[in-house]
Amino acid sequence: MILRLGALLCLLPCLVACDGAPKYESGQRFDKSLRTVAVPVAKNASFDRKVAPELTDALVKAIESGTHFRVASEGKADTVLRATIRTVDLQQISKSRGTGLSEEMALNVTVDYEWIDQRTGKPLVQRNGFRESAVFVASLPIQQPIDLARFQVVEQLASAIVDSMQADW
């Protein structure tokens, strides 16, 4: 009993000292001097004409809801986030044994993007060949539209791109 009390008394200063120890936080790591970001409509080198405006819209929403940035016009923004859609392709994942028709399909989208500090002209984040995928069931009885997969992949891309803006530079 006396040993336990002695051990507790020895640990007491450590417990009190821990209160002043460095604290680790999970939070935004954005440069606080940067306040605005412009998000021009993504360029599109693919056949899918819907993906560029949908990606741009998702990026704006992700920035506004997940960062301290305010989205502004390119002429007034501290930074600009530019994206180029390189490829949009469909990949068959499975097919029906009975009919041979596609059942599950993957929509793959590859994007290049860069986030540029307009004050210096230097890229803060730059990535080429960034790829996300979403799976959908193309055949009956479910027959999900490709629009569902496009929405999922665009949301994933926007989230991942905004997450990359939080990384240490």
- Is residue 2 situated within a structural domain? no
Is 116 exposed, middle or buried (CB count within 10 Å of its CB: 0-12, 13-18, 19+)? buried
Per the domain annotation, does 160 fall within a domain? Answer: yes
Asked if residue 27 belongs to a domain, the reply is no
Helix axes 146-164, 51-66, angle to 10 degrees: 40
Question: In terms of Cα–Cα distance, which of 90, 99, 89 is closest to 141?
Answer: 99
Task: State how beta strands 104-117 and 79-92 pair.
Answer: antiparallel
Tens-of-pLDDT digits for all 169 residues of the chain? Answer: 454 444 444 444 444 444 444 333 444 455 678 899 999 999 999 999 999 999 999 999 999 999 889 999 999 999 999 999 999 999 999 887 877 778 899 999 999 999 999 999 999 999 999 999 999 898 777 788 889 999 999 999 999 999 988 775 4
> Residue 135 has what pLDDT?
93
Q: What CATH code is carried by the domain that includes residue 78?
A: 3.30.160.150
Residue range(s) defining the domain that contains residue 80 = 32-164
Q: How many CB atoms lie within 10 A of CB 65?
A: 8
> Model pTM?
0.77
Residue 78, domain member (yes or no)? yes
Q: How many separate domains does the chain show? A: 1
Assess if residue 103 is contained within a domain: yes
